[in-house]
Amino acid sequence: MVAARVLVAILGVVLLRDAMVGHGLFTFGTAGERPVLWLRFTSDPIQLISLSVLALAAVAGLVAAFRQRSRGMRWTADRAWLSGPVGLLGAAVIVLPFAVLYGSVPALSAALGLGDVPLDVRGGAVAAGILVPLLVFAFCAGLLVEVLFRGLLQSELEHHTTVARAALASAAFFAAGHVFLASTVTEVGWPILAFTLVEGLVCAAIAIRHGVLGSTIAHGGAIFLLTSGLV
């Protein structure tokens, strides 16, 4: 029953995210000869802060609703300070393929025969004034997703299978939660699924030893870098 309740909560968050995309609060697209994925959030700081508050409220609701599971949730590494650096490293791993495809790492992109994808065709520049609200929202939304997929789902699966299989399953569920977004809400297709699978695998691996805090930093950091136009 716990697993069923977790899946219902995940479905609710997936539906809300798809509604955000439908209302223009979250935008996906592809650019260049290769289907290079880009993403942006709304440029309204009030909307970003409001969504951040809603995400934190949802996290509080989940912790209360799953009180017993929340007590056993792995929030940090045994040495808590390690969760931050490992999370940042995870964010870099998630973002690196995008940086190479965008041409933001000229030497590596050139070595792979990849051309530059200009910023204006992959979402455009983001105003400096919304970077702080964007950063706050990226981490608040990342926390909500990671509490669901890593804190609740992955830890629940660990009661029924090995830690490695639980991590793989949580990453697969995370990617599967974007199927409707990739095929119906938008027409971006497989690049969304590829991105979310890689992101899910990195966050799941981090969560095993460095908890929800580590995976949240990886998730939120990657989303901020990609939606801010800083990559």
Q: Which helix (H) or strand (E) holds 40?
A: strand 36-41
pLDDT tier at 187, thresholds 50, 70, 90: confident
The residue ranking higher by pLDDT, 77 or 53, is 53
Q: Which domain holds residue 180?
A: 2-227
d(CA 148, CA 177): 12
* Share above pLDDT 70 across residues of the chain, in percent, rounded to a whole number: 100
Q: Report the SS3 class of residue 142.
A: helix
pLDDT at 159 over 90: no
DSSP per-residue codes, 151-211: IIIIHHHTTTS-HHHHHHHHHHHHHHTTHHIIIII-S--HHHHHHHHHHHHHHHHHHHHHH
pLDDT tier at 149, thresholds 50, 70, 90: very high
Contacts of 94 (CB under 8 A, 6+ apart): 198, 199, 202, 218, 222
Which region among 64-68, 161-165, 221-225 has the lowest average model confidence (pLDDT)? 64-68
- Chain Cα centroid distance, residue 22: 18
Residue 91: CA count within 13 A, CB half-sphere? 24
Contacts of 141 (CB under 8 A, 6+ apart): 51, 52, 55, 220, 223
pLDDT at 185 over 90: no
Task: Work out how many domains the chain is built from and give that number.
Answer: 1
Does pTM surpass 0.85? yes
- pLDDT tens per residue across span 18-73: 898 888 899 988 887 778 899 999 999 999 999 999 999 999 999 999 988 888 78
- Chain Cα centroid distance, residue 94: 10
pLDDT given at position 111: 81
pLDDT at 1 over 80: no
Provide the token pair at 18. Answer: 């798809």
CA distances from 54 to 51, 146, 152, 182, 227 (A): 5, 15, 19, 24, 19
- pLDDT tens per residue across span 196-218: 999 999 999 999 999 999 999 99
- Of 216, 27, 21, 37, give the one whose Cα is nearest residue 135: 216
